[in-house]
Chain A
């Protein structure tokens, strides 16, 4: 059974059973679908930035402000009330961010390798849940449609495969014609980062970034990096030393002393030489 079939069957089963809990998907990048009453309310995956990363990387909220919001809210993973109360984002904006993050993570899981699916009880509260869950079948259809759209690009790309870099240096004057996303991608594409890495770095959806990377590769703005050079290895001149010096060798054992030495008896010598004393 292909990874797609396995995922489709598991999602369908969770939906029909009205699961409230999690469907954990192993693989690369893998991830977790969070269900409430058979509908998907959140998806998290190492392959796509979550709502928190999208907000923090976009600069809308600083790391310090986020930490303060989490403290205020008693340690919740998604301090939505605080975000609205402090004016960092509106309720509608946050709903859009949550839906985007959910759909993007589902796309990332499907675009990768699916090894197995395991439904279970919820271990943690879902991160950034959407108020109205999505039917799992529609979510999977949306992800499959995006995957097909990527494959149909003139320069097909995969979120984890290509590691692009700019074909040349772009001067500041040229940046005006490019648009914000392209400027950011040119600034951060260094031949080490995949589209997935660039999505985290720029705080954008991984699908959005992957499509844009594909277009920029086709237009000759980016090129695929050559295979990476070997990592230079340098040994310390005196070699690698132990953090703690080895313990000193134990002292050589002293020769064992006989337990019972013959005791000299007074007068014994005379007895030997002169016979029994009188």
Chain B
């Protein structure tokens, strides 16, 4: 796997969307792969929470016939935490402060998720 390309995607997203404070990528079972997070965040715990959160959201979507899960977003008074599935094998966490435009985040994240999925599966993604 191209470690530099993964770092590039994670940092690139943070530079592209104002308000992103931290990002992390983990395997679908919650094992941390990479974290670009502040010291105040426990990235291992965050990865495990994201895996559990996505699992719960996926089952909720199934049980309520809401179709394929897109993402989960937890909104707090000081910002939000978004969890995205990366294909069938991994997940990505994006934390943002109160200024983060969540719609803009979702738009910017979709192409990045495809590229991160390709990087993780050792495929050569175009433009990376």
Contact = CB atoms under 8 A, between A and B. Distances in A.
Contact of B34 (A29, A45, A47, A232): A232
A201 B88 contact: no
Given A190-B39, A243-B28, A233 B3 contact: yes
Contacts of A52: 98
Given A231-B34, A243-B88, A236 B99 contact: no
Interface residues of B, number: 37
B18 A231 contact: no
B51 to A, nearest CB: 9
A231 B6 contact: yes
Most buried by B among A48, A160, A200, A231: A231
A231 B99 contact: no
B3 A230 contact: yes
Most buried by A among B29, B31, B85: B31
A197 B31 CA distance: 29
A60 interface: no
B93 interface: no
Contact of A200 (B7, B28, B99, B104): B99
Interface string A243-257: 110000000000000
A196 interface: yes
Nearest to A243: B28
A233 to B, nearest CB: 4
B29 A234 contact: no
Nearest to A160: B18
B98 A196 contact: no
Contacts of B27: 236, 240-241
B81 interface: no
Given A231-B10, A241-B27, A46 B77 contact: no
A160 B19 CA distance: 10
Contact of A196 (B4, B18, B89, B121): B18
Which 3 residue pairs are nearest across A and B when measured between Cβ atoms? A63-B77, A243-B28, A29-B18
B99 A63 contact: no
B84 to A, nearest CB: 13
Contacts of B88: 242-244
Most buried by A among B6, B10, B78: B78
Contacts of A46: 18-19, 99-101, 104
Interface string A184-228: 000000101100110011000000000000000000000000001
A277 B10 CA distance: 91
Most buried by A among B27, B76, B99, B104: B99
Contacts of B85: 243
Interface in A43-65: 45-50, 52-53, 56-57, 62-63
A4 interface: no
Given A48-B99, A190-B38, A232-B34, A243 B78 contact: no
Contact of B76 (A29, A63, A190): A63
A50 B100 CA distance: 12
Contacts of A62: 77
Contacts of A48: 99
Nearest to B16: A28
Given A197-B97, A230-B7, A240 B120 contact: yes
A201 B19 CA distance: 11
